[in-house]
Amino acid sequence: MRAGPRTHTVWRALLKQRRRVILHAMRLVALLVVATAISASAAVSAPAAPSWLVRVGPGYVKVGEYRIGLRNTRFLDVINAFGKPSTCRVISGPNHVQATWASRALFGEFVTFGGLPRGENGCMSPDLIHVSELRVNDRRWHTALGLAVGDPTLRLRRLYPRARYVPKDRYRKRDEYWLATRRGVCFGDCGGRRFAKPVLTAEVRRGRITAFWIPVGAQGE
């Protein structure tokens, strides 16, 4: 029995509808592939969010992206972690400079007891000068226990009950609490006895934390 005109019309309509469905599905797949590629590219190229954590670990202190160990103590190492400083200036001579990173509220003092090439200074030769101390003073900076710049000293004493208060005197520039210390050896007239030296301190003023300081003392020779 031969199919009538009506049957052919129905089949043509069904085939057209099937083609439309297939084309629509192919467009959806193509759009999904493109969206996935764009998302993956963005995930790879997007810079990681900056860290505002100051953490003390066994043998190191980590300030944001900068890990301070036995050898990672050059001005250049800080630059590698945070980028080019906003400012760098010579203080008392070419072997003593200070630098700041404005976007991270970071200040660094850098010193070397060794020589520098003739006509150069620590800003020009960051690979030859070392960290004396660092300071961070933005409210986003915080310790592993949750103590942040701007917190009251009452919170500091609650989180760090063993912290030692050290007032400002003619040798010390600031009132501060020693949050973390390590055992060191005193060389010279003190006979080599061991003592506690700070590796993380909190500067305080009028009952609040104004900054965290990281004494490094890696001036070297």
Transcribe 188-217 into DSSP letters. Answer: STTTT-EEEEEEEEEEEETTEEEEEEEE--
Domain map (residue ranges) of the chain: 53-215
With 90 as the cut, is the pLDDT of residue 30 above it?
A: no
Token pair belonging to 128: 């030859």
Region 78-102: mean pLDDT is: 97
What pLDDT shows up at residue 43? 47
Which pair of structure tokens corresponds to residue 210?
A: 């104004």
Mean pLDDT of all residues in 135-152: 98
Question: What's the pLDDT band for 16 if we cut at 50, 70, 90?
Answer: low
What tokens appear for 121 in the block?
């200074």
- Contacts of residue 120, Cβ cutoff 8 Å, sequence gap at least 6: 94
**74 vs 12 pLDDT, higher one:** 74
d(C-alpha 77, C-alpha 57), whole Å: 19
Give percent of the chain with pLDDT exceeding 70.
Answer: 75
Tokens describing residue 80:
């590698």
Res 8 pLDDT > 70: no
What's the pLDDT score for residue 133? 96
- Within 8 A by CB and 6+ apart from 174, the residues are 168, 203, 213
Confidence band for 29, pLDDT divided at 50, 70 and 90: low
Torsion angle (degrees, nearest 10) of CA 108, 114, 118, 123: -10
